Structure 1
Amino acid sequence: MTQRLLLPCLRGAIGTWVTYTCLMRLSDIKDLISFADDLHKNKNLSQLIQRQLKRERKKEIGDYLLNDEEAFFNSLVVAVYEGEPRWHQFDKIGNNTLGIEDFETPDYTLESMGYLSLSREEKIFALDGQHRLAGIQYALEKDEDIGRQQISVIFLAHFNDAAGLKRTRRLFTTLNKRAKPVNKDAIISLDEDDLCACVTRYLVEESSFFGGDRLKYQATNNVGYADTKNLTTIGNLYDLIKVVIKEGCGLSPREIDNYRGGEEEKGKFFNLVESIFSYMFSTIPCLAEFDNAESHASREQVIALYRNRENGGHFLYRPAGLKIYLQAMCKFAKLNKFMDFESACFRFIEKTQDVDLWLESDFLRDKVWDATQKTIMVIKAEVRKSIIMSLATFAIKK
């Protein structure tokens, strides 16, 4: 039978969290603590968190542990669930303790000291200190002897249901936001206060047109010619949603980044964005072909037709093209104030579904597509504005 691991511990409380601050050996940290990859039912979203870990930081921190006699770490913050963690309280200071009259003994002190024991079957992942965890793993691969060193680790209880996942995701980004700017990968995959990130995750996990492997899980907007599986990237999807919510719905960047609406209001944005994309994929022929492809092979044929080196393909199969199209849609909605936003979006999609947006068309050649070099051009600001206004006015006049 595997022995339980006993950790010296202080129990405390802040906000709605009960904390257990333990002293752990680096070897136990390496064996028991993993990265935050259990925060989504969609594992591609979870993998985004690990991609933000920088290899050079891992080596830098590991070498620091190995070579600096004065090495020091702040506490790791970890979430724990499953297994069988137990709290063992001890209270040695009592009325018969010598000199008790010289002590001020707040109520919490007798409940705060003890041990936390682990069955070693728990699932534990780092919420704050992922680079430090990677550095510890790197250092122990080089020298197992440093595994006897100890640092403090703050344990938080995590509940693996919808409310618990949301609460832990919010804490992850809160901790990291306070320390340094959070990468776009982490914002998309974890941030519970960023409205566009919440909508992005909703579409990825609940919609058919961006579900499964139809999306490239990277935060940048680049999709290469060799990619015949994905329409666009999750980073571009996040940017598209921000266009709709910021330029269409009129929310400010601050309101988006730190959304304070309730779940019912947030659900309205989920439904609005899903409705717009659903109408796009059912109405615009080139997107409908992608959505209706019944196999990987047929989807690859669709993408090869609409994104290629020969003629460039179609504007909506380029991240920049999708963004400009949605910006034009929002411009159309602003020019039609007598219509509600969702209806205006539908009207714009109907009116522009047959517009020639092939990159070789007169409309886009030598503005977006270099027909001689066979490559996408850097789209200048005035060209972008011209395309947006042209599409919006075309929809109005048609």
Structure 2
Amino acid sequence: MRVGTGGLTRLAGDSTAAGFEYIFPSIRGVQAGREYYVTMCPLSLIPKIFLFDEEELAPEVRAQRILNKGRIPAMVRYILDNPDDYVFSALTASVDGTMRFVGVSDRGPGMRVGQLHVPMASRVLLNDGQHRRAAIEAALRENPALGDETIAVVFFHDAGLERSQQMFADLNRHAVRPAKSIGVLYDHRDELSKLTRLLALKSPVLRGFVEMETSTLSARSGKLFTLSALYSATSALLQGLGIDDERQGYELASGFWEAIDVLIPEWGLVRKRKLSASEVRRQYLHTHGVALHALGRLGNTLLHDSLDPEAWRPKLDPLGQIDWARSNSAWEGRAIIGGRVSKSHQNVGLTVNYLRQHLGLELSAEEQQAEEAYLRGER
């Protein structure tokens, strides 16, 4: 039986001489001498027909990695919170059964467009997209109406475990997670991303000196900061302040970084072309992500006491006496490990401690414990 839905064949199963089968609208292609089929599948069918490889199997006899369940809640919220503009890429699956493609004609372009018949008794194994599948299944439990929407699926003939493992390796061989900076640049849902972009483009002390696309700076780059580092630092600065208004957030964050700029003369010298950005990054710590993040956390403490600039600005003055040179031995073990800048959580925390002590601020119990361990050499 087939039920038409807006031109899409949504099937409940079709009785044939061989038994029951799923039928998908499909396009046939050839890759590396093997046929494959690009189809549309209703989300309601995804949990029913696509299987995970068994988690209890040893890695050498699986064709997939074990599901990372910690990733699923965020993916589910992404679907449910953005029902009008979520985007999921195609799933890739192998079918251990005899698929049958029926083109709309026997010759010409119609040979590549038609319907794909997949026996229901077949074992359909996901080669790529297991986390998307799990997220779709969970989202459907909360919003069953999503079941009528579709996702693209690429079907291959199952050529055995070795081929399935190779497909997984090949599909992930060249996958590169985009730099966090470009993620911030292109994210129009996240309010903090919007605010960070606004700072990078409009703040008088940041404009023109923030790398918007990559999260690392080349030795010859004329930029002082990366967008990802500014994002992390501004997130730490505004955390827990309950600021929902974009304008207020921008004014507060911009005012804070302008106040920091006054206390770090090298930033201004770069803007005046008296120092090169590469020279400053090479010689000083204050443009690096670990320092920006630490400054953001320090500012957050002051802003929690008062949002009034007249109250928190004077408290920052001791920062002007800090020796930010990377050659300063005080940074070793805090922000620098073996001569290299480190932005690990532990190093950010120890850098915050150093700044707090210069401002005469008390350390929390956790910070004090980390500081004592650092002083004992347990880092």
- Under a length normalisation based on structure 2, what TM-score does the superposition of the two structures give? 0.46
Q: Which structure shows the bigger proportion of residues in strand conformation?
A: 2
